[in-house]
Amino acid sequence: MVGYDPDKKKLTSSQILIASTGSGFVARFLLQPIDVIKIRLQLQIEPIRRQTGSKYHSLLQSIRLIHHEEGIRAFWKGHVAAQFLSISFTAAQMYSFEKVTQQMGEIFPSTTTSPTAKVITHFIAGSIAASVGVLSCQPADVLRTRFVGQGEPKIYKSYMQAINLVWTHEGIRGFYRGSIPAIILYAPVSALTFGFYEFFNRTWDRLPLEHFHSVKHAFNGGLAGLLARLIVYPFDLTKKRLEVVNFEEARSKFGQTRIYSGMMNCFSEIFRHEGFTGLYKGIAPSMIKAYISTAITLSIYDSLCNTLRKTSSD
């Protein structure tokens, strides 16, 4: 079970970190290609349909075009930064979530016994955990987005060069571009994910589904992640747009580029020039990723936690 449970053996800090980094690593490696496609669609100013000036027209066309122009390795562009992002975010998020739910459970025992109180507790703890996670890994997210979003010839040829260029031309602020929409995005996403996940698990336990218990965490985790991501998706898109401000030269071959002064300006410009649907560019691969990623992360995390409990008790 994800979160504090007084009836189960308490995990140590190192065990929480092992379980969270392991689940984050596997999920990121498997889903990096979907993330690359999602980011390319999110960053495109032109409509996602066949018309003059639009580079990417659809999900399948984007896959074929990226493979044709850049090869199979393009689907893992920015993977090192993305892997660091995934591991650091998942570790910070899950560690914070476990500790916050533990503290709340010890101070207010009703949060572990009352179904409604537990869902609310997971909602609050999820929001706090995501904020900690965002602040710990936003620089890696900025680098990941820029590596994925650049064309040929490359502006960033290595991670050390990228870090040096961002620091030289943009300062510390450059590493935290998009951090406000990131917190606005991930805090409710995490809150809704953990809240939905706990609610779905409790609902599952009331149904005659004993023979399907092995798929419980994957199914419920995936559904929770999908619903949470759908609700706040526009913030993910604006975050990506802000992360590539001052990176227009590397994106010149992908079509139009724009400079945004902040989150609200980004929202208004997208709505004015691209319409309401512009706020949902890349929604298809994002929903696929949200379901699979959350399903993999939570099911592997839960499995590793149970394994570590059994191993340490021997």
Report yes or no: 255 and 281 within 8 Å, Cβ to Cβ.
Answer: no
pLDDT tens profile 167-176: 999 998 888 8
Q: Give 253's DSSP letter.
A: G
| Residue range 227-244: mean pLDDT, rounded | 85
Which comes out higher in pLDDT, residue 4 or 163?
163
Whether the per-residue pLDDT at 274 is higher than 60: the answer is: yes
The two three-digit tokens of residue 223, written as one number: 């559904």
Instruction: Read off the DSSP letter of residue 72.
Output: G
Average pLDDT for the chain: 84
pLDDT recorded at residue 194:
83
d(C-alpha 23, C-alpha 301), whole Å: 5
- The mean pLDDT of 91-104, rounded to a whole number, is 87
Are residues 302 and 2 in contact, defined by beta-carbon separation less than 8 angstroms? Answer: yes
Q: Tens of pLDDT along 172-218?
A: 888 888 888 888 878 888 888 888 888 888 888 888 776 666 688 78
- What is residue 96's three-state secondary structure? helix
Structure tokens at 166: 């961002």
CB atoms within 10 A of CB 303: 15
Q: What is the pLDDT of residues 113-148, one digit of tens each?
A: 788 888 888 888 888 888 888 888 888 888 888 887
Q: Can you give the pTM of this predicted structure?
A: 0.65
If pLDDT is split at 50, 70 and 90, which confidence band does 161 have? Answer: very high
pLDDT at 30 over 80: yes
Nearest to 43 by CA among 243, 294, 284, 305: 243
Q: How far apart are CA 89 and CA 86, in angstroms?
A: 5
- Does an H or E element contain 274, and which? helix 263-274
Q: What is the reported pLDDT for 168?
A: 92
Q: How confident is the model at residue 112 (pLDDT cuts 50, 70, 90)?
A: confident
Residue 154 — very low, low, confident or very high, per pLDDT cuts 50/70/90? confident
State the DSSP H helix or E strand holding residue 259, giving kind and residue range, or none if neither: none
- Distance between CA atoms of 229 and 193, rounded to whole angstroms? 8
